[in-house]
Every structure is written in C-alpha cells, then in structure tokens.
Amino acid sequence: MGSLMTQLPIRCTSPVNYGHISMKLISINNSAHMKIYTLFFFMVLTRVSNLYAQEERKDFKPFYDQYQVKGTFVLYDQKNDRYLYYNKEASNKSYLPASTFKICNSLIALETAVLKDEYEILKWDKEQRRVPEWNADTDMKQAFKNSTVWFYQDVAKKIGEERMKYWLHKLKYGNEDASGGINGFWLWGGLRITPMQQIDFLRRLAGNALPLSQRTMDIVKGIMISKDRDGFVTRGKTGAGKQDGAYLGWYVGYVTTKDNVFYFANFIQTESRTDDFESSRIEITNRILEKLGVFNK
C-alpha cells in the first residue's frame, strides 16, 4: 500500500503566477523610487530657487568704510521677489529701533485716536533742546520730518503702556517688548528689531496688510514721503541711538517706481562717532540704490 500522498492526486485549481507577482513588485518598487526622485527634484529646485532669490553683495563695503562704520543692508525687490544683502549675517540681529519706531508710533496714535490726524498740534513745554525745530508747538507731520523726540514721547504717554503693548503685539513689531518706560522703550528700553523685521513691517504697511484702518495707513505713508519726483517716490525714516556701548544708526523705507517697489533697511554701527555719522545713514543708502540702478527703473 503506497503512501497517502501517492494515492491522492494533487490538483491546482488556482495556479500561482509568480511572474505576475514579480512584475507587480517591480512596478511598486519603481513607483516608490519615482516618488523619491520627484521629491528630491523639487527639494533641489526649491533650494536653487531660494538661492536665486537671494544675493549677497560684498562690493558695498567701501561705502561703509568711507564713513568708518560697520553695517548691514537689506533690499527687497517686490516685482522679482528677490532679496539682496550686504553683511547678511547681521541682518537678523536685533537692535534698538530708535526713531524708526516713529512709523509704528504714528500708526498706533492715529488708530487709537490719541491724535485725530497729522495736523493736530501738541504744545511745546518750553524746554530748550539741541535741535531748534524741536523748540516749538508741533504737529505729527512736522514732528515726523524733524524727528522730534518730545512729541513722540508725549504721544506714547497718551497711548499708555497697556495699549502700547497690545498694539506692538497686534502689529507684530520687532520683539514686541515695551519694557524700560513708556516714554523711551524704543530709545533705551527693551524694544528690539532686526533689519529683516524692518523690511517685513514696511512691506505690510505698503501693502495695506496691517490690522489697521486704511485711513491710518494712508496718513502715515503720506508723512513718510521724503522725495517725490520723476516718477519715483521715496518714503523713509532715520534713527540713531546707543546700544551696548556702540553708536547705532538706521535708515529704513521704500522707493516706489513706475512698476515696482524696493524696500530697504540700512543699519550702521561704530564705537567712535564722527561728525558725518548721521548723514552717512542716508548717503550710504543712496549710493547703494544708485549703484543698483533703482532710480533708473
């Protein structure tokens, strides 16, 4: 008697197609590889695109050397969505905003109705100050132009500490720190802002993307105008102060051309202040903008 296996016939009613399984596995494997290759391609493309959208210029150094200052410069070309830097590493470091905060202070003053418009006059306290233009009754338009410190200190006091903190946070201005006294937290207190944050704030203002009324933004954009001719409008604000034993200076703003907007933030610093320190903030910026042909576009 043979074994059970030899006695019972074995029939395969569903034959296994190993070739089909093998081809399916290969197909799945190829599909996975394709996804990886596609992901890698887009990662490389993104990296190249980011590199193309940024440029660092070392040839701006002589402009700073001429005035014996160190600094950083950021330009954003809105039409081409492109950043240009000098000393990029310093563009993300935080500094006191000094009088560049007058842009933000003006916005908050108008939005809270502390000032009804740019022509409301605040009375001078009769204290003699170093800048002759500061020794008079002043409205916001003139105070912005002359960078009148006492005017904006009074405005900040009228806004008050709690409302100021609320608006710094709502506007996402710098590190949003109002410590150090309501009358000077932007001059000697805890408020800090990077050149890149200056650019971001200006872009949101120019693009009407701040959580403010259109009227408020339009008024401030109006008082920021320093030059308007030949199809080019320059808006900006300077600032100067002292931080960690060094003198610092700012010039931030934007140039509107016929078909583009160029945002700029120039920051300078020195341990030994010269007579042309304050003028160098604007002079360096203008020479860079001229070199880049901004006023020819």
99 is annotated as an active-site residue: yes
Contact 198, 252 (CB under 8 A): yes
> What's the DSSP call for residue 133?
G
H or E element, residue 228: strand 225-229
Residue reference for tokens 């945002």: 263
The closest of 253, 244, 257 to 285, measured between CA atoms, is: 253
In order of 62, 72, 294, the CA distances from 58 in angstroms are 9, 11, 18
H or E element, residue 282: helix 277-291
The closest of 251, 278, 286 to 72, measured between CA atoms, is: 251
* CA 277/CA 281 separation, integer angstroms: 7
Residue reference for tokens 């330009």: 75
Residue reference for tokens 């102060």: 241
Task: Give the active site residue among 14, 49, 94, 99.
Answer: 99
Token pair listed for 185: 């937290």
Provide the H-helix boundaries in 2-100: 4-7, 18-52, 61-66
**101-104: long-range contacts at Cβ-Cβ below 8 A with a sequence spacing of 24 or more?**
101/152, 101/186, 101/191, 101/239, 102/143, 102/144, 102/147, 102/152, 102/237, 103/201, 103/202, 103/205, 103/220, 103/224, 103/237, 103/252, 104/168, 104/171, 104/173, 104/201
- Point out the residues that are catalytic: 99
